[in-house]
Amino acid sequence: MKQSMLVKLHTKKGYRELVGGRLPVPGAKVAKARRSDLIPLVVSRPDTDIWLVRSVDPLPAGEYALMIDPQNFYIFPFAVSD
C-alpha cells in the first residue's frame, strides 16, 4: 500500500472537512492535514491481496478518512459511532 494516513475530519453544516487540506495541483503536495488530526496507523499485509489497516488506539466516535497515496488523492471517509 502506498503511503497511507488516517485523519480526523471536522463536520460543518453537514459537510466533512479536512482542516488544513489543499487542492490537488500537479507537482504540489496535497492532502496535508494538521498534525493534531493525524491518527497513527499499523499497516500489515497478511496475504498478497489483503491489506490490514488499523489505528494504534481505539477511535472515539467521529468522522474520519483513510487517505491512500495522498499524491493521487484516494480518500475513503467513514464514521465511528458509540
Per-residue pLDDT averaged across 19-40, rounded?
Answer: 62
CB 66 within 8 A of CB 80: no
Given a cut of 90, whether residue 61 has pLDDT beyond it is yes
What is the extent of the structural domain holding 48?
A: 4-80
In DSSP notation, 40-74 reads -EEEEEEETTEEEEEESSPPPSEEEEEEESTTTTE
* CA distance to 17, 19, 47, per residue, from 37 (Å): 11, 8, 30
Phi, psi of 32 (to 5 degrees): -95, 110
pTM higher than 0.75: no
- CA torsion sign for 58, 66, 10, 30 is positive
Over the stretch 4-20, which tens digit does the pLDDT of each residue have? 788 888 888 877 777 65
The total of structural domains in the chain comes to 1
Lowest-pLDDT range of 3-12, 38-47, 70-79: 70-79
